[in-house]
Amino acid sequence: MAETQSAVTTRHNGARHEVKGNTVIADSVVSTIAGIAARDTGGVYAMGGGMSRTIGAVRDRVAGSEDPTRGVKVEVGEKQAAIDLEIVVEYGTPISQAAGDIRSNVSDAVQGMTGLEVVEANVNVLDVHIPGTDDDEDADNSRVV
């Protein structure tokens, strides 16, 4: 968890005083931000490895929404974060460009929302999705449920 101390000068009835406090950001918050930013990158078909995607698909059907932290692992310090992402790219996507775009999007989102410096964002490309494969048919059938 990241914890920062801050002080804010406020005015109350014309008088100025300083309000001190701590802000604690849970690792799960950083994971969620990173996962959403990675999924919003062009060329990313899915997040997570085969088994986590399979189990996650069942959970998603039951819960009615996708887990934004699937395929994301973070290590968060007081001022910095390191992020590991597991992705499946769409066939035809230039992988090195997609990885660079993912790093940029994730870093911008995490830093912008939390103030943490992203010191590394590792992208693990686990698979390439080919349109028309069994995954598409399973996804289509799961929507009918």
The residues spanned by each domain of the chain are: 27-144
Q: Maximum Cα–Cα distance for the chain, whole Å? A: 67
- In which region does residue 48 sit, left (phi positive, over 0), alpha (psi from -120 to 50) or beta (all else)? left
CATH (one of 3.30.70.1350, 3.40.50.1700, 2.60.40.10, 3.10.310.30) for 27-144: 3.30.70.1350
* 39, pLDDT greater than 80: yes
Give me the mean pLDDT over the 40-53 stretch.
83
70 DSSP assignment = T
Give me the mean pLDDT over the 57-68 stretch.
62
Contact 43, 98 (CB under 8 A): yes
C-beta neighbour count of 111 within 10 angstroms: 14
89 DSSP assignment = E
Dihedral pair phi/psi, residue 74, rounded to 5°: -130, 150
Q: What is the pLDDT of residue 110?
A: 98
Give me the mean pLDDT over the 119-142 stretch.
77
Q: What is the pLDDT of residue 51?
A: 54
Q: What is the pLDDT of residue 140?
A: 47
Residue 63 banded pLDDT, cuts 50, 70, 90: low
| d(C-alpha 89, C-alpha 3), whole Å | 34
* 58, pLDDT greater than 90: no
**3-class state of residue 40 by DSSP:** coil
* 144, pLDDT greater than 90: no
Which of 19-23, 50-54, 63-67, 72-76 reaches the highest mean pLDDT? Answer: 72-76
